[in-house]
Amino acid sequence: MILFPTSGYIDAGNQWLLPLHGWIFEYEQDSLWRGGSVQVLLKSLQINDVALDSELFKERTWMFLVDNERGKKLSIAVEDSRVQCGKSEPNGHFDCVAKLNIGAALEQRKPVWVSYSVELKSGDSRKFVGESQLLPPEGVSVISDIDDTIKDSRVADKKELLKNTFLKEFHAVPGMSGAYQQWQAQGAAFHYLSSSPWQLYPALSEFIRDNQYPKGDFYLRLFRIKDKSFYELFASPFEYKTNTLEGIINRYPQRKFVLVGDSTESDAEVYSYIAKKYPQQIIKIFIRNAPQGHDLQKIESAFTGLDKELWQIFNEPGEISQLAF
């Protein structure tokens, strides 16, 4: 089981609500690594069976091959509250909401992190713990893409993207962590929005931590290997990203948002659409000019109708790190 980081918020009745999100699954290593699913992935990557012996390959792919546990009910403890979550979905994921009586985040504009845990049966010594950031109604949130924005992925070349995802160590975009740390020092909260699937969450969260990016919640895509090909892992994200962004922004109607993406896919189009729909909340858009990204003229045309002071295409993180909130 994995519990994902989330963000709490205050509803119209001044009640703290804490979304809880996790994934229940069973992992049988010996049978999985000899199964046909691995061969499907190897064929997609156009590599031979030697990859089966790579620990890195196993670390990146094992969650694509787990047995999802549907219909499971959980009791989750958050502070002094107990939440009974409904049954897990066929994909093993579950979502529920805890109501809390916590005032700490109201006293400052910075996020406050709280932990929550699954209550297991007597005698079960396992521990499953998650975290959530409580965000004050007012403040600044940074919503950041991951691939080719803060992590060098080469999204424009799908074969290279798959190899960078499953066969190579992740590499951070130099300087982006430092820029984000400067924003965090001003009180900004962080949300990581990616077209990557939830199966890559362990690797991505480790990447965020090891490269000293600010802690934040994650928004990734649902994916089942039996339903789709690996080339669809990073399919066009316009609808997915716009819907997810609107959900975040509507949850925090008084917060201001900085949107950070790159030039390889549709981030400019997505962010332009959002900025026009929420002009009072979007205070800045940054688009990294990534290798093999779209022509800059195309990126600029996506922002037609927006104030030129609202958006910026950058090459080096030093160009954006001095943003003052």
Q: For 63-120, how does the pLDDT look when each residue is reduced to its tens digit (9 = 90+)?
A: 888 888 999 999 999 877 889 999 999 999 999 999 887 654 455 667 889 999 999 8
Q: How confident is the model at residue 58 (pLDDT cuts 50, 70, 90)?
A: confident
Three-state DSSP class for residue 300? helix
C-alpha 262, offset from chain centre: 15
Three-state DSSP class for residue 324? coil
The pLDDT of residue 52 is above 70: no
- Which of 20, 31, 42 is closest to 225 using CA atoms? 42
What mean pLDDT is reported for the chain? 87
Rounded to the nearest 10°, the torsion over CA 150, 151, 157, 163 is: -170
Please report the pLDDT score of residue 34 as a whole number. 45
Rounded CA separation 61/324 (Å): 40
Q: How confident is the model at residue 223 (pLDDT cuts 50, 70, 90)?
A: confident
Whole-model pTM: value is 0.91
Tokens describing residue 211: 């490269």
Rounded CA separation 244/237 (Å): 10
Please report the pLDDT score of residue 161 as a whole number. 84
The pLDDT of residue 172 is above 60: yes
Question: What are the chain's domains?
Answer: 2-25+68-134 (2.60.40), 140-319 (3.40.50.1000)
